[in-house]
Structure 1
Amino acid sequence: MRREQQTVTGKTERVNPLWTLTATEIAALVRGRQVSAREVASAALARLDAVNPAINAVVACRPGEVLAAADATDARIAAGGDPGPLAGVPVTIKVNIDQKGHATTNGLRANRDLVADGNSPVVDNLRVAGATILGRTNTPAFSMRWFTDNQLHGRTLNPRDASVTPGGSSGGAAAAVAAGIGPIAHGNDIGGSLRYPAYACGVHGLRPTPGRIAAFNGTAPTEPSIGAQLMSVQGPIARCMSDLRLALAAMSAPDARDPWWVPAPLGGPDFPRRAALCVRPDGLETEPEVEAALRAASARLVDDGWQVDEVDALPPLREMVSLQLILMFGGDDIRAVRSAVYREGDPGAINTIERVVSKLKDGPSLADVSSAFRLRAAALRKWLQYLETWPAVLMPVSSRPPLPQDFDLQGLHNGNLTSEAQLTQVSLPVLGLPALAVAVRDPEKIPSGVQVVASRFREDILLAAGHSITGQDTPILPVTPFDA
Structure 2
Amino acid sequence: MTALTVDSTARDQAAAVRRREISARELLDLHLERIAERNPQLNAIVSLDEERARSGAAAADEALAAGREVGPLHGLPFAFKDTHAVAGWRTTYGSVLYADHVPDHDELIVERVRRAGVVTIGKTNVPEFAAGSHTFNRVFGTTLNPVDPSRSAGGSSGGAAAALASGMVPLADGSDMGGSLRNPASFCGVVGLRPSLGRVPEWPLYNQWETTSVGGPMARNVGDLALLLSVMAGPDPRAPQALGDPGAAFAPPLGGSLAGLRVAVSTDLGGSIEVDHEVASIVGASAAVLSSAGATVTDAHPDLPEADDTFRTLRAWHFQARFGERLAAHPDAFKQSLADNIRAGEHLTGADVARAYAQRTALAERMRLFFEQHDLLVLPVSQVPPFPADQEFPTEINGRPMATYLDWMRAAYFITVTGCPAISVPFGRTAGGLPVGLQLVAAHGRDRFLLEAACALEETVSA
Of 416, 427, 442, the match for 1:454:
442
Matched, 1:280 2:268: yes
Residue type at the aligned position of 2:220: R
Distance in 2 between residues matched to 1:147 and 1:248, nearest whole Å: 24
Comparing 165-174 with 371-380, which one deviates more in the overlay?
Answer: 371-380
Please state how far the C-alpha of 1:355 moved relative to its aligned partner: 5.5
Equivalence for 1:105: 92
Equivalence for 1:119: 106
Structure 2 portions without partners, runs of 5+: none
Distance in 2 between residues matched to 1:474 and 1:14, nearest whole Å: 25
Matched, 1:471 2:459: yes
Matched, 1:407 2:395: no
Distance in 1 between residues matched to 2:215 and 2:364, nearest whole Å: 21
Q: Superposed, which structure 2 residues align to 1:44-193 within 5 Å?
A: 44-193=31-180
Identity of aligned residues (%): 32
Residue type at the aligned position of 2:233: S
Alignment check: 8 A CA contact 1:125 1:250 kept? yes
Residue-by-residue CA offset, 1:247-303 (whole Å, 9 max, x unaligned): 0001114433323222225469x9962211011104123223212322343333333
Change (3 A) 1:446 1:409: closer
Distance in 2 between residues matched to 1:154 and 1:173, nearest whole Å: 15
Structure 1 portions without partners, runs of 5+: 1-12, 476-484
Residue type at the aligned position of 2:45: V
Equivalence for 1:27: 14
Alignment check: 8 A CA contact 1:184 1:238 kept? yes
Change (3 A) 1:450 1:155: same
Residue type at the aligned position of 1:288: H
Change (3 A) 1:188 1:63: same
Q: Superposed, which structure 2 residues align to 1:247-266 within 5 Å?
A: 247-265=228-246, 266=249
Of 272, 279, 294, the match for 1:290:
279
Change (3 A) 1:417 1:290: farther
Equivalence for 1:9: none
Please state how far the C-alpha of 1:199 moved relative to its aligned partner: 0.7
Of 333, 343, 349, the match for 1:365:
349
Distance in 1 between residues matched to 2:428 and 2:60, nearest whole Å: 36
Alignment check: 8 A CA contact 1:225 1:329 kept? no
Change (3 A) 1:162 1:384: same
Matched, 1:397 2:359: no
Change (3 A) 1:290 1:341: farther
Number of corresponding residues: 449
Change (3 A) 1:355 1:79: closer
Alignment check: 8 A CA contact 1:125 1:253 kept? no
Equivalence for 1:244: 225
Residue-by-residue CA offset, 1:347-392 (whole Å, 9 max, x unaligned): xx312432664xx474211111112111111111010111122121
Change (3 A) 1:455 1:38: same
Distance in 2 between residues matched to 1:406 and 1:145, nearest whole Å: 14
Change (3 A) 1:410 1:26: closer
Distance in 1 between residues matched to 2:303 and 2:185, nearest whole Å: 25
Give the RMSD, CA atoms, in angstroms: 2.7
Give TM-score scaled by structure 1 length. Answer: 0.85
Change (3 A) 1:30 1:335: closer
Change (3 A) 1:374 1:253: closer
Change (3 A) 1:409 1:419: closer
Distance in 2 between residues matched to 1:398 and 1:21, nearest whole Å: 27
Change (3 A) 1:362 1:282: farther
Equivalence for 2:365: 381
Comparing 18-27 with 466-475, which one deviates more in the overlay?
Answer: 466-475
Residue type at the aligned position of 1:216: W
Q: Which has the higher contact order (CA 8 A, sep 6+)?
A: 1
> Secondary structure of the equivalent of 2:352?
helix
Residue type at the aligned position of 2:340: E
Residue-by-residue CA offset, 1:390-448 (whole Å, 9 max, x unaligned): 12100011222122224346879754275333112112222211110111134960111
Equivalence for 1:202: 189
Residue-by-residue CA offset, 1:147-169 (whole Å, 9 max, x unaligned): 11111111111111122211011
Please state how far the C-alpha of 1:172 moved relative to its aligned partner: 0.5
Comparing 330-339 with 284-293, which one deviates more in the overlay?
Answer: 330-339
Distance in 2 between residues matched to 1:409 and 1:377, nearest whole Å: 30
Alignment check: 8 A CA contact 1:99 1:119 kept? yes
Give TM-score scaled by structure 2 length. Answer: 0.89
